[in-house]
Amino acid sequence: MSRREILEIGHPVLRERAREVTRDELRSDRVQRLIDDMIETMRAAHGAGLAANQVGATLRIAVVEVTEGNPRYPYKAPIPLTVIVNPAIEPLDDETARINEGCLSVPNLRGEVPRHLRVSLRYFDRQGVEHEELRSGLTAGTFQHEVDHLDGTLFVDRVADPRTLATWAEFERFHREAFLARAAGIVQRFGS
């Protein structure tokens, strides 16, 4: 495994829609190495997720994991390591919440994004096993963020009010407490 460079906003690959991965590709050493490298890269950067195009590979693969004590996202409920290949996500209703998001590809910036609180997520894991799961709360937002990446969309594209954009330092200084109160309500309600 090795860490890969995380591409930043402005790099054209981040705006490309990643292509589907075939079953043969998924079984290949090359793609399995890519997945391992993505996991290592995400963990080293303390991310909650990482999409393949963030490391320059235009394949529909993302990894998600939130561990207790993640310094970037201490308010998120834990999510066990999940590798999603060719994911499809659908909202289960119209309920949304404003989630203050950041992104490894948009360093030092956060903003509020309306995210669906209940979604259906279909994907293949790294062994090619198909899954269909219900994801809710902040966890639903995390998966929506990663699927957006695979479609060439960054969180800044979804920020409804640009006045919510803030550097990490200013978020911590002025907005953290209000968002943590909202996030705690979501976690209490959904457990995630």
Q: Active-site residues: which are they? A: 146
Cβ–Cβ under 8 Å, residues 191 and 77? yes
Burial (CB count <10 Å: 0-12, 13-18, 19+), residue 48 = buried
Cβ–Cβ under 8 Å, residues 48 and 65? yes
* Tokens representing residue 117 in the block: 């609180």
User: Which residues, 6+ apart, have CB-to-CB distance to 12 below 8 Å?
Assistant: none
**Cα–Cα nearest to 125, from 92, 78, 81:** 81
